[in-house]
Structure formats: C-alpha cells, structure tokens
Amino acid sequence: PAAVFGPRPSPRHRSARLHVADGPAGGQVASMAARANAAAAAGNVPIGKRAQRGKVLTTDSISPRVLECQYGVRGEIFQRAQELVREGREVTFTSVGNPHQLGQQPLTFLRQVIALCASPFLMDDPRAADLFPADAIARARHYHQALKGGLGAYQDSKGNGVICEEVCDFIERRDGGFRPSSSDIFLTNGASDGVKLLLQTIIRDENDGVLVPIPQYPLYSAGVALYGGRLVGYELDEKAGWALSMKGLQRALGDARQAGINVRAIVFINPGNPTGQCLDIEQLQGLVRFAHANRLVLMADEVYQENVYGRVPFVSCYKAMCSMGAPYADGQELVSFHSISKGAAGECGLRGAYFHLANFDAGVRANLYKIVSISLSPCVPGMVALACYINPPRPGDESYAAHQQERTGIINSLKQRARRMSEFFNTLPGVSCQLVDGSMYAFPRVFLPQLAIEEARSQGKAPDALYCLRLLEHAGIAATPGSSFEQEDGTYHFRTTILPPEDMIDGLVERFRAFHMHFTRAYGEPEVPIRPPGGTGVPLTPLAAAKL
C-alpha cells in the first residue's frame, strides 16, 4: 500500500493519528481515551478515587510507541465478541487460531508426559502401568531427570540443554541431514516472544526498516512499531494465489531505500497467515538469494509447517538454504521460528516454541542470550510439550499407533475443512476465496456495496471492520477484518479460521450465508459481483465479464 512507509510522524502527530485511525482497534482506543479525558476535565470521577493532581500516566504521557502499536486480531471485533459472551450470547470465535477452543483434542502422548512430569510421584505408583503406556512413563522420567528440579524449577535462559538437542534432532530428521548446533537453538514462550526479540535486536532507530508481506500477521506491524522501526510492505499477488513476486519485492526494497529507510531484514510466513499459501523450494531459494544480495536478515515464520493440505509440500528455509551450498549455506543470516500452538498439537496455552539461528555472529548470539536472561527461564511445561511434539513416539513404541492415528486424523480433518470453507466462500455473490493450501485460515475478498463503505467511513471504521461487526452481531461469528492485516488499497477482506469441527461446519456456513444475503439486501448489491466462468479467482468487473 502507498502508506506502508513514508515520513515518520513526530510523537505529536502519532497521537493525532491514533484519534483518526480507521483500523479495528484505533477508533475504539481513541474513543475510550476521549471519554476518559472528558470525564477528568468535568470532574466526573467517583468519590474516593479523585486525585489531588493529575495522573502521571495518561494517553498523552505514555510512550508514543505504545500508542502507535496496534494488534487488530484482538481489537474491536474480538472485544465486542467477549462482551456478547458475557451477556449470554453464543459466539463462534473464528477470529483467532486457537484450536482447542474450537474443539481440537490434545495429543494423548503429549498430555500424558506432561501429567507425569507435573506429578512425578505417579511414575512410581504401582498403578501407573495400568494408567499410562510404558513409553510415556519412560519419557517423563527422562525429562524429569533432565530438568534438575522438575517443572517447577528455572531452566537455562535459552532452554534446557537436553531439549535443545532434541530440537536439533528434529531439524536434522526434517531437513534430510542438515543439523544445527544446539547453541543456535533458543526455546521461547511462544514463537511471538522470539519474533519480538529478533525485531528488538534488528531495529536500532526510526530509520531502520523490515520488509513484511502484505497481507501480514499483525505481530509484525505491532512489533516494528513498538520497537520504533519502519514497516516496509511487499504485496503478495492475490490473483495468483497469494504468490510471491520477486519483482514486487525488489520494487518495495528500492522504494524504501530511495525514501531513506535502512531496510535490514525480510519476514516471510510459510505457510502463509492469513493467506494460506505455501512456498516451494525454488521460491525459498529465490528469497535466500535476494536476502544475500541485499544484505538482509531472513526471518522465516514457519509455525504452520504441519498445516499443509495440498499441492505444495512444506520445505523449511533452512533446508532450502543449506542445499544451495556456499556462499548461502554458510553465509546468509537466517532465523526460523516454530511452535506447538499450531499443527496437530494446537497447544496455544502451553507456549512451547523455539527459534533457530543460522550463520549469526557469535557476539549477537551472546547478546540475545543476555536479553533472554532478564526473564530467567522459558515456561518449563511448554519446553516439555515442545519436546514431545517434535520427538513423538517411534515405530515399536507402545504409543506409536495411537499417536499416528490422532495426528494424521487431525491434519486430514483440517484438510477437508480447508477445502470446504474455501469452496463455500466462492459460492457467495461478491466474495472470492483462494484455495487454502496451508495454515489454519481462509482470507476471502469481499466486494462491499458503496453504501456500506460510506457508512463505515462515517463511523471512522474500515469498511471490512463494519462487515465483520455486522457478522458478529447478526450471526454470532467473530472474524477478523482484512484491514487488521494490511491489504492492497481499495480491497476488503476478512480472515476466518478453518478450525470449527466438521460437524459444526454446515451450521456455520449457513449462518454465514444468511448474514451475507441479509447484508446485501440492507446495503445493496456489491459493485463487482461477477466471477469468471468455472473459476475460483477474483470476480471480474462487469466490463471485463462482458468481454468473455
């Protein structure tokens, strides 16, 4: 988008921009701040809470970076959904990739090991063999001994060494023999903590920029803003299935540097969030060459690597880079992120994750260790859950058959739901959805009636935020507007998970269909309702359709 980068606003201008933001969270924060300031000016403060002087911290005195930071996934729509739940309304949360909340069951082996580690006396109970398989008991003993004090004890600030080695084993198996050093593995409380740490390290001042795909996951725009950098967007091509364009990437970099931005890193998300596409090895190697030629750190967000459903298999960027040989394999700086919050585990609450550094300077690695040491230790149950996920039961183990059945069953079901959801959206007038090849989301484009666009703007909202708010109020479905992810100017989208159980899908899509038809009747037909014959791509304008 044209506004992705430009002159950086002063703190005064940032505050002003907050009050006119049309994103899903900006208007709400602004109105809350305005009401609070008006109440203070009028003296409408409850008796007993009046202060003799003004507050030290107000929206005018806190860090402007905090004001500028926005995270739309939990913005106005999500907060309104929470209000409705408190009022007794039933809401289906398709706005957040939270598998267990929508019914995905935990992997039994992982939970058995966690239970035994949390209550180690159970391992020696004579009844343990009747309650737990032998391999789960053996694995729990292994981790309990390695943790030197169990789940309740601090571990090394970058994670327990035994579990870091198991991460290296996993990467070696996954990537066909390319094995990292455990000194390059950092265990973290969710992948988000690792991403924020790397952004904090990369961004030195307001002149430093980070290339981020558009649409993007708001963690990146929020993190770049919080650490004072410049987000430089490179647009994915929706018409080509959200494909990566190297020409577009080069153009975004060139424009940013022409504007005086010192671009230092490039982020890519594979499989894509919110877009659901998968990159093949040739595209990954193109990214490696691009980063190497332009002296950029590569940040590979690969948390959805098990969520792959179709045409393109997952290949890690580390494998793609190592297979290229010198100067890339031993010279290009790459940091890769993985998590147990997605995939067949879906363990969002346990916060197990890691990042892997490749070809980083030893001094930088030491400083990263210094920063993580401030927090003492990652979450220990999350470490154990991560270890169970990346080191599952093997053939011959008592739990192997059941674990394989659970894991493949979850992924196969997600594959069916991905197909079903994308096919459904392509039946709605004025809606187009690319096939979901990976991750947990569909990201349909919606062509909104002009009346709806004008109403949204009169309320200080993004048009797709109005659509999602009406969807929530009418159908009890919480989705996330595309404006929370950035998008091509003049287009509107929403993100919805594919996570509702298969037996809920029929009811969900019918609620969605009823809402969409109601919305269309209320606001009029969208301006671009015609789809190419036999296609599932972006609908055509009436003029283009007439030429077919």
- Scanning 158-294, the segments in alpha helix (DSSP H) are 161-174, 190-202, 218-226, 246-258, 281-293
The domains of the chain, with CATH numbers, are 1-72 (no CATH), 161-390 (3.40.640.10), 409-546 (3.90.1150.10)
Q: Judge whether residue 73 has pLDDT over 80.
A: no
CA 200, chain centre distance (Å): 18
| pLDDT bracket for residue 68 (50, 70, 90) | confident
How many C-beta neighbours within 10 Å does residue 224 have? 25
Q: Judge whether residue 3 has pLDDT over 50.
A: no
| pLDDT bracket for residue 42 (50, 70, 90) | low
> So what's the pLDDT on residue 24?
39
Residue 248: helix, strand or coil by DSSP? helix
Look up tokens 């009346």; give the residue.
Answer: 451
DSSP letter at 243 equals B
Rounded distance, CA 40 to CA 58, Å? Answer: 11
Give per-residue pLDDT as tens, 327-340: 999 999 999 999 99
Non-local (6+) Cβ contacts of 298 within 8 A are: 265, 266, 268, 287, 288, 291, 317, 321, 332, 333, 334, 335
Give per-residue pLDDT as tens, 150-163: 999 999 999 999 99
Cβ atoms of 65 and 226 closer than 8 Å: yes
Rounded distance, CA 406 to CA 105, Å? Answer: 9
> So what's the pLDDT on residue 135?
97
Look up tokens 């494998």; give the residue.
Answer: 319
3-state secondary structure 322-350: HCCCCCCCCCCCEEEEEECCCCCCCCHHH
Q: Which of 9-13, 115-119, 523-527 has the lowest mean pLDDT?
A: 9-13
Non-local (6+) Cβ contacts of 464 within 8 A are: 446, 448, 481, 482, 483, 492, 493, 494
Give per-residue pLDDT as tens, 215-231: 989 899 999 999 999 99
Q: Judge whether residue 510 has pLDDT over 50.
A: yes
Give per-residue pLDDT as tens, 295-320: 999 999 999 999 999 889 999 999 99
Q: Which of 79-93, 257-271, 405-419 has the lowest mean pLDDT?
A: 79-93
Q: Judge whether residue 132 has pLDDT over 70.
A: yes
Residue 482: helix, strand or coil by DSSP? helix
> So what's the pLDDT on residue 46?
55
Cβ atoms of 352 and 339 closer than 8 Å: yes
Q: Which of 10-24, 63-77, 257-271, 517-531 has the lowest mean pLDDT?
A: 10-24
The closest of 135, 179, 143, 137 to 160, measured between CA atoms, is: 143
Mean pLDDT to the nearest integer, 471-495: 91
> So what's the pLDDT on residue 21?
33
Rounded distance, CA 163 to CA 534, Å? Answer: 51
| pLDDT bracket for residue 394 (50, 70, 90) | very high
Residue 159: helix, strand or coil by DSSP? coil
Instruction: Provide the Cα torsion 168, 171, 176, 178; round to 10°.
Output: -50
Backbone angles phi and psi of 116, in degrees to 5: -70, -40
Question: pTM for this structure?
Answer: 0.85
> So what's the pLDDT on residue 14?
34
The enclosing H or E element of 101 equals none
The enclosing H or E element of 40 equals helix 26-42
Rounded distance, CA 380 to CA 189, Å? Answer: 9
> So what's the pLDDT on residue 49?
53
HSE toward the beta carbon, residue 5, CA cutoff 13 A: 28
> So what's the pLDDT on residue 26?
44
Task: Classify each residue of 421-436 as buried b or exposed e, where b means 16 or more C-beta atoms within 10 Å of its C-beta.
Answer: bbebbbebebbbbbbb
> So what's the pLDDT on residue 489?
87
- Ramachandran sector of residue 228 (left: φ over 0; alpha: ψ -120 to 50; beta: rest): left
Q: Judge whether residue 29 has pLDDT over 80.
A: no
> So what's the pLDDT on residue 95?
83
* Percent of the chain residues topping a pLDDT of 90: 74
The closest of 32, 88, 21 to 58, measured between CA atoms, is: 32
Rounded distance, CA 82 to CA 68, Å? Answer: 24
Side chain identity, residue 543: L
The CA-atom distances, in angstroms, between 74 and each of 80, 303, 389, 545 are 10, 20, 28, 38
Q: How many helices (H) and strands (E) does the chain have?
A: 20, 14
Rounded distance, CA 428 to CA 436, Å? Answer: 17
